Structure formats: structure tokens, C-alpha cells
A and B are shown apart, each in its own frame.
Chain A
């Protein structure tokens, strides 16, 4: 890292800062993504099964959950960070740094993940669900053995999109005192007039997103059995 920096005409000591930034970014994004999925999968499943024509149709539950998801999705991320500050403080006892950023990241990403999961499940052929019912499957067996495995490729596509989105949010949170590459780009590029440092951080962020999306899509093509091979 330091040799690349000196080649770019930058202070090699920045290497430590950038490496620490990469670590922080991954820390925030991975934990937030995992937590968002832990909440988002059940949300998506409930939205799907309680929806119209679902295996457990329930307009009230669907309506309430849908409303919460829509509200959270409608609030712009930076505003959300501010509005949930009391919650953040209550959970991690601080409002700055990586741990403090994870709270709004999860709150913003979970409803998003929920909708992605719901739309992936909607892609599963209704005939297959009907067949599963005709074979005497319980609702839980339909969810765990039919819906989720059959939606796996689409869920994985959703996962790569969610990961990239959360990465983007984490960088945005840099302006609100988060850590990571986003914070480096903002602190050096905006407050210290060192656009070259900012560019290093930006290029790294772009590379991560591209590598992750490409890798994800390749994996999807590999595991999807609907494609003739």
C-alpha cells in the first residue's frame, strides 16, 4: 500500500490510515448486512405469505408491516441517521464511530432487504407451491423447503445489491462521524483539501462494489439450476 501511495506522490504514512479505513468499512458493512438479513428475511417471508393469495393471507399483518417498511424506506438515509440518534445512543452509548453507524445502517437496510426478499419469493412459480401443498406440506415446510431454496438464485442477486447499497450508505455516514473509507474521502478530500487521498478512497470503494457484484452474479449463474448446462 505504501509503495503505491508514494508512486502516486502521496505520504506513505497514509497507508495505515487507508488500511484501517478498509477494515472499518468491511466491519460496518458486513455486520450491518448480516443483521439486516437476520431481520429482513423474516420480514420478507411474512410480507410474502400474508400478501394477497399467499399461503397465510392476512391483510392486517401485511398492511401494518408494509406500512412500517414503506415509512423507513421513504426517509433519506442521512436524515434517518439523525432521527435514530437516541436509539443509537441507547444501544452503543455513543453516536460516532463504526459501531454507532451500524445502528442506522441496519434500520435503513432491513426494510430494504425485506422488500428484496419478498420480491424474490414472488418469482417462485405458484404451480410449484400448489404442488407442494397437494403433497401435504405444512406452511413451514413450504417456506423452508420450497420457497427459499427455489428463490435462492434471486435471493443471491438481491444480496449483492443489498451489500452494494449498504456499502454506499456506510460511506455516506462518513459525514456524520462514521469511520471507514467514506470518512477518509470526506475528511481528507473535503475538510483538508487533499483530493488525491479522496480519489484513492473512492477508487477503492468502486473496486469493492464491482468485484462484489460481479462475483455475486457469477455465483448466481453457477448455482441456478434453471439454466441448461
Chain B
């Protein structure tokens, strides 16, 4: 659907060149929900703007189907953009137009007759459950409602892809959940490929099929969300999946720890109780959390790595016998890496 080929974006600032995106290549498949996650400043917003050429990459190619957007004429580019919907963190609705006229805008600029545009807009407002608000102005709506109007507007031209740039970051947790469900529904029922930019792992866990993890303008790893949750290969990936304080976890441990991941099946077994009973060790739990990844329950448990190597061996044996996935994580301590 969309393929990036060695895309880089440099910004020239007074302080010199800034490498916002560096040599990024990946493909977004037809019909999937693809996440791009990273902490702020990772370059993900710039990257998503390279997908529809709102930012022109300094190097590389962006393929939308058979069309190389970086080589396309202005006219071809405008036409392609009508097949790539986009929603934003700040909604970006036209403040002086009411809800239905906002949804009509993309149709209006495509030369669709007013009557036809209105019909289509009403249909879309029904889908986003705002049929009764068509005469309201954006200032009269809540954040979640504004984002639903923006979604309806982005869908007006029947796009193949919907880009969501931190679309839920200005919304409260409940509204976030509802908005994500709506995006999932649109993906399933209308077959629209969805690209989600976010800094929250929860968002990725809830609806994404695959995810790319970004840090300092580089994609560090890319893969199935379940796979990355189980076994993150990059530093950023691990930081993102480790439970945070606000999620009921503890601050990222400062000691070495073992991260045990339970998938849908093992989460129903009392693994921890068995581990303690069988090994007879007094384990120190550092943190725990659960995640609902695309409908299946996942859990993770952080326990402190025992100091004695024979104790550690016991734990390893038990976990591998149980078939539970675990990884040993060493943390940076005073005096450098503890390795």
C-alpha cells in the first residue's frame, strides 16, 4: 500500500542540520493497522508527514501503490492525497464551518455537487455517531466529538489509507478507547488501511497489527505487536513495553530483573505461585501489568534477578519447562554496564 525506501528528512536550522528521519524503509500492508511509536522527538510526526509529502523527504522514495510520490507532479500528488486521509492531534477542523460543511469540504474541492456531498456527509456522520450534530460548530463540540468529525471528513473521499497523527493524545482514556474502537471498525468494515502515530504503548496494544519503533529518527525494530511485547529487541522497545508507574507498575527498575511474559494461555495458570513453591526462593516482585493486545490477554511480571547464579538457574529451568517466555534484563548501574 505504502512503501518507504531509504527515506531521510533533514531540517536546516540555525544550529545546523537536524536529522529528523534517517534512512527509514518499510512497507505498510494493504488492510492492516500499522503503528509507529516512539517517545517525543523521535521523528514520528515528521515520518508520517513524509507519507503524504506534507514534508518532502530530502532523500529516498515514498511509493503509494505504483506511484512514487516524491517524483509525482503537483496534480498527481493532490489526487493521491485524496486517497490518503489524515487526522491530527488538534483535530484541525475549519472553525467557521459547521460540522456537515467540514465533512463536505474534501468533496467540495473535488468538484462533487453540493447535494451529493451532503448525502455522503450525512452517511459518514451516522457512522461516527454524530448525525444530530450536523449544524453545530466545532467550538460547541467536545474533543472526542471533534475527532469524530475529523474522521468523517477524512473518510469523505473514500481513502485507501487513514493517517492518524497522535489522534488520541488530546483525549481522555475513555474517549481514546472509543475513538480507537471506531478506527478499528472503519478498518474492518470499510477496508481502510490505518497508520497510527503515538507515544502510548496502550494505543498500539489495543488496535495495531504491526508496529515500528522509532527513536532519534531511526526505526529500531518493526514487527507484530505480540512479538514485540513478548520479546522487544531494541532498548526503546523494552522501555515502551515495561509497565510505567502511571499504569500501576513501579518506576523502571534500577536493579537487574527478569521480565516474564504471559500470553493468552499461560495467564490462566498460577505460574508465579508454582515458581515460588517449586524453587523455594523468596522472589522480589518489582512490577506487573496486563495488556489487552488485539483482544488477547497478555501479562508481564518483573522480578528481581537473584544474586546467586544457582538460584537464577533454578528460575530459568522452571520457566523454560513451563514454556513461559522470559528475558533477563540488565540495567545500567553506577560504573557503567553491569556485564
Contacts and interface: CB of A to CB of B under 8 A. Distances in A.
A137 B88 CA distance: 17
B106 interface: yes
**What are the nearest 10 A-B pairs in CB distance?**
A136-B81, A131-B92, A134-B86, A127-B92, A136-B82, A225-B137, A136-B78, A135-B106, A141-B109, A226-B95
A134 B105 contact: no
Contacts of B177: none
Given A127-B88, A225-B96, A225-B138, 12 more contacts: A125-B92, A131-B86, A131-B88, A135-B81, A135-B106, A136-B81, A138-B78, A149-B96, A149-B97, A150-B94, A225-B139, A226-B137
Interface in B97-146: 97-98, 105-106, 108-110, 137-140
B54 A130 contact: yes
B109 A137 contact: yes
B56 to A, nearest CB: 12
A222 to B, nearest CB: 13
B93 interface: yes
Interface residues of A, number: 25
A135 B153 CA distance: 9
A227 interface: yes
B94 A128 contact: yes
A153 B153 CA distance: 24
Interface string B155-169: 001000001000000
Interface of A: 125, 127-128, 130-138, 141, 145-146, 149-150, 152-153, 224-229
B74 to A, nearest CB: 8
A224 B140 CA distance: 12
Contacts of A145: 105, 108-109
Contacts of B175: none
A125 B138 CA distance: 14
Majority-rule SS of A interface residues? helix
A26 B295 CA distance: 72
A149 to B, nearest CB: 5
B140 to A, nearest CB: 6
B79 interface: yes
B149 to A, nearest CB: 12
B111 to A, nearest CB: 11
Contacts of B150: 131
A39 B105 CA distance: 28
B95 A127 contact: no
A127 B170 CA distance: 15
Nearest to A152: B96
Nearest to A126: B92
> Which of A125, A131, A138, A226 has the most C-beta atoms of chain B within 10 angstroms of its own C-beta?
A131
Given A134-B54, A136-B79, A138-B78, A128 B109 contact: no
B92 A135 contact: no
B52 interface: yes
B94 A146 contact: yes
B95 A228 contact: no
9 contacts: A128-B95, A132-B105, A135-B81, A136-B110, A149-B94, A150-B96, A153-B96, A225-B139, A229-B140
A128 B92 contact: yes
A136 B106 contact: yes
Contacts of A134: 52, 54, 81, 84, 86, 163
Nearest to A146: B94
A146 B85 CA distance: 18
B25 interface: no
A167 B86 CA distance: 47
A229 B135 CA distance: 13
Contact of B92 (A130, A224, A226): A130
A150 B138 CA distance: 13
> Which of A128, A134, A152 has the most C-beta atoms of chain B within 10 angstroms of its own C-beta?
A134
Contacts of A131: 86, 88, 92-93, 150
Contacts of A128: 92-95
Contacts of A146: 94
B176 interface: no
